A and B are shown apart, each in its own frame.
Chain A
Amino acid sequence: MPLAVELRALSFAYPHGQTVLRDVDLAIAHGEFVAVAGPNGGGKTTLLRVALGLERPTQGEALLFGEPAHASSHRATIGYLAQRARLGVDAPATVREVVSAGRLAASGLLGPLRRRDRAIVAEAIGRVGLEAVADAPLRTLSGGMQQRAFIAKALAGEPSLLVLDEPTTGVDVEAQDALAALLDRLHRELGVTVLYVSHEFGAVERFVQRLVLVRSSIVFDGPPAQLPGVWHDPSHVHV
């Protein structure tokens, strides 16, 4: 089985800009739970965008399920939670409407959802514990619940790879812990590969098998237990 995510000797620079990523090698196998961390401006969001095919590498290769990321035929099986600022949390949508949007790639663009798709949407809402508010407007819910609604949206596509970009922003500490526990449960129950990208990794540290620290290049890649003590405080990654 090909790797879920593979970056080979990858470098990336924005046009007329500085090199953001330099000579990055990263391989994530099916079923892994990996946290990618690093300081703001260290290139982790860029790494994510290149890995997902949203940006093309300047040098090297980005592969998704063994195919070039930008043209991968497996894109519909990626569940993606974008940064909160990019999500339409102010749209007048219900939880069910948000989650149904995650079924689009699997169900096709045209016409209404079929019965089977609606059942999968309901199941995804149940998995994140939002059944009681399934038909409530999103904007009446807390930040943590809104985030769970968007995770359910990612799950509605029955993903084999779940990617979260800065999921802790704008969410209180309790909700961060609940999110980490939820991701751990989804990882174990569904066998989904989880890629968790954040400037800090405290909430998920006890659940992840691998921690990858990015500062232009990869400066650490291994189990969290082997992380040099000084780096547990993310501010030290700057040093």
Chain B
Amino acid sequence: MFESEFMRLAFAAGAVVGLLAPAVGFFLVQRQMSLIGDGIGHVAFAGVAAGYLLDVSPVATALVASLAGAVTIEWLRARRITAGDQALALVFYTGIAGGVVLVSLAGALDVNLLAFLFGSILTVTRMDVVVIVVLGLAGLATIGLLYRALSATVLDEEGARVAGIPVAFLNVVVAALAALTVALSMRVVGILLIAALMVLPVIAATRVAWSMASTIVIAMAIGLVSVFAGLTAAYYGDLPPGGMIVLVAAAAFALLTVAGTLRRT
């Protein structure tokens, strides 16, 4: 399988995505914002469509649109202009509606678009891999540096605010990391399934983990295994990679739920 260059590129991009998505997803799940990845994904769809229309890189426009969407959700939530789920709904539906209109204007309702929606290992280019690896490692480094601050905010946001921790800034960092993850992952997993890779490994990890640190490490391991197993299955079975990756992550959840239950009995 690795004699084909596109598989080597897909695995390189997939490795970064498989580690980054659950690491970011951990903070979303703990803040009960599991669906934010989905909301940002729909905005990214509008970004991809804008890329086609303007004839520039869809990954770049998706990244800009995702960041704008994520920061908007956080801003609406923090200012209490709307409740968290309403902020998400607003951005979610505006994104998908804008995307449909832009795609139609660009005349781009074709196979390429489907590759963005569901992921396609054939579409990952060398340039994509460079962008994914550089920005993905920057995202992971940010989480590493701010890990204590981000987890303290998860545990006790008001306590952190009282102690003078810049909670609003940290919340924007998490939203921006979620946007970055969506934009980087859409080539491999697809816009419609990226949120699953952020959330499912984390939920699976909580079944057997004993601490915050172990949850995040196990979730990243599940993410990596899901991407590698999913890509392999997609290659040999000629199946959509995004779907296979998420099915493996869902299977991990089922397995670890059984394992967790057996351990407690």
Which A-B residue pairs are the 6 nearest by beta carbons? A75-B164, A101-B152, A105-B163, A80-B162, A88-B155, A109-B149
Q: Tell me which residues across on chain B come within 8 A of A109, comparing CB atoms.
A: 146, 148-149, 165-166
Question: How many whole Å from B215's CB to the nearest CB in chain A?
Answer: 5
Cβ-defined contact, B160 with A88, below 8 A: no
Which chain A residues numbered 54 to 111 have a C-beta less than 8 Å away from chain B?
A: 54, 75-76, 78, 80-82, 86-88, 91-94, 97-98, 100-102, 104-105, 107, 109-111
Which chain B residues numbered 139 to 179 have a C-beta less than 8 Å away from chain A?
A: 145-146, 148-149, 151-152, 154-166
Cβ-defined contact, A88 with B30, below 8 A: yes
If A78-B163, A104-B149 touch, does A92 touch B215 (CB 8 Å cutoff)? yes
Q: Tell me which residues across on chain B come within 8 A of A80, comparing CB atoms.
A: 158-159, 162-163
Q: How many residues of B contact A (CB 8 A)?
A: 28
Cβ-defined contact, B164 with A105, below 8 A: yes
**Is B101 an interface residue, CB under 8 A from the partner?**
no
**Is B210 an interface residue, CB under 8 A from the partner?**
yes
**Is B138 an interface residue, CB under 8 A from the partner?**
no
**Is A137 an interface residue, CB under 8 A from the partner?**
yes
Cβ-defined contact, B151 with A101, below 8 A: yes
Question: How many whole Å from B256's CB to the nearest CB in chain A?
Answer: 13
**Is A112 an interface residue, CB under 8 A from the partner?**
yes
Cβ-defined contact, A82 with B156, below 8 A: yes
Which residue of chain B has its CB nearest to the CB of A74?
A: B164
Question: How many whole Å from A37's CB to the nearest CB in chain B?
Answer: 21
Cβ-defined contact, A101 with B156, below 8 A: yes
How long is the Cα–Cα vector from A234 to B163 in the complex, in angstroms? 31
Question: How many whole Å from B196's CB to the nearest CB in chain A?
Answer: 20
Q: Tell me which residues across on chain B come within 8 A of A163, comparing CB atoms.
A: 162
Cβ-defined contact, A86 with B158, below 8 A: yes
If A86-B156, A88-B155, A98-B155 touch, does A93 touch B211 (CB 8 Å cutoff)? yes
Interface size bracket, A side = 35 or more
Q: Tell me which residues across on chain A come within 8 A of B155, comparing CB atoms.
A: 87-88, 91, 93, 97-98, 101, 153
Q: Tell me which residues across on chain A come within 8 A of B185, comparing CB atoms.
A: none
Q: Tell me which residues across on chain B come within 8 A of A153, comparing CB atoms.
A: 155-156, 159
9 additional contacts, CB 8 Å, given A92-B209, A109-B165, A153-B159?
A: A75-B163, A80-B163, A82-B156, A87-B155, A91-B154, A92-B206, A93-B211, A101-B160, A150-B156
Which chain B residues numbered 17 to 41 have a C-beta less than 8 Å away from chain A?
A: 30
Which residue of chain A has its CB nearest to the CB of B152?
A: A101
Which single member of B30, B162, B212 contacts A52 (CB below 8 Å)? B162
How long is the Cα–Cα vector from A163 to B156 in the complex, in angstroms? 14
Cβ-defined contact, B146 with A105, below 8 A: no
How long is the Cα–Cα vector from A82 to B165 in the complex, in angstroms? 15
If A88-B155, A91-B154 touch, does A157 touch B210 (CB 8 Å cutoff)? no
If A92-B209, A94-B211 touch, does A100 touch B148 (CB 8 Å cutoff)? yes
How long is the Cα–Cα vector from A78 to B162 in the complex, in angstroms? 7
Partner-A contacts on B (CB < 8 A):
30, 145-146, 148-149, 151-152, 154-166, 206, 209-215
How long is the Cα–Cα vector from A92 to B204 in the complex, in angstroms? 12
Which residue of chain B has its CB nearest to the CB of A154?
A: B159
**Is A113 an interface residue, CB under 8 A from the partner?**
yes
Q: Tell me which residues across on chain A come within 8 A of B215, comparing CB atoms.
A: 92
Which residue of chain A has its CB nearest to the CB of B156?
A: A87
Which residue of chain A has its CB nearest to the CB of B160?
A: A104
How long is the Cα–Cα vector from A82 to B153 in the complex, in angstroms? 13
If A97-B212, A110-B145, A110-B146 touch, does A88 touch B163 (CB 8 Å cutoff)? no
How long is the Cα–Cα vector from A135 to B212 in the complex, in angstroms? 11
Question: How many whole Å from A185's CB to the nearest CB in chain B?
Answer: 22
Which residue of chain A has its CB nearest to the CB of B26?
A: A92
Which residue of chain B has its CB nearest to the CB of A140?
A: B210
How long is the Cα–Cα vector from A102 to B215 in the complex, in angstroms? 20
Q: Tell me which residues across on chain A come within 8 A of B156, comparing CB atoms.
A: 82, 86-88, 101, 150, 153
